[in-house]
């Protein structure tokens, strides 16, 4: 499945975990761990618009990013 970020970047992933890993690695200077990236991403989302993004698992994290509008599925 393909997903688009708010800044227009297209990412392709077969699972939500794979999408979380792609988002983490797409950063210019990624955090050392996926968990660190999720914590930072959740903090930034809260500061940006008050979104509550879970960090309990990569799948839950990506579900919340989609729900909050930071990512959208591309059906092409």
Residue with tokens 């618009």: 49
Q: What is the mean pLDDT of residues 17-38?
A: 91
Q: What is the mean pLDDT of residues 37-44?
A: 96
State if pTM tops 0.75. yes
Q: Contact, 12 vs 2, CB < 8 A?
A: yes
Least confident of 15-19, 29-33, 53-57, 70-74: 29-33
């Amino acid at each position: 499945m393909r997903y688009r970020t708010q800044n227009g970047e297209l990412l392709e992933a077969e699972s939500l975990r794979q999408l979380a890993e792609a988002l983490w690695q797409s950063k210019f200077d990624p955090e050392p761990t996926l968990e660190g990236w999720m914590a930072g991403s959740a903090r930034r989302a809260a500061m940006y618009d008050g979104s509550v993004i879970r960090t309990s698992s990569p799948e839950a994290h990506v579900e919340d990013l989609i729900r909050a509008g930071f990512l959208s599925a591309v059906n092409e």
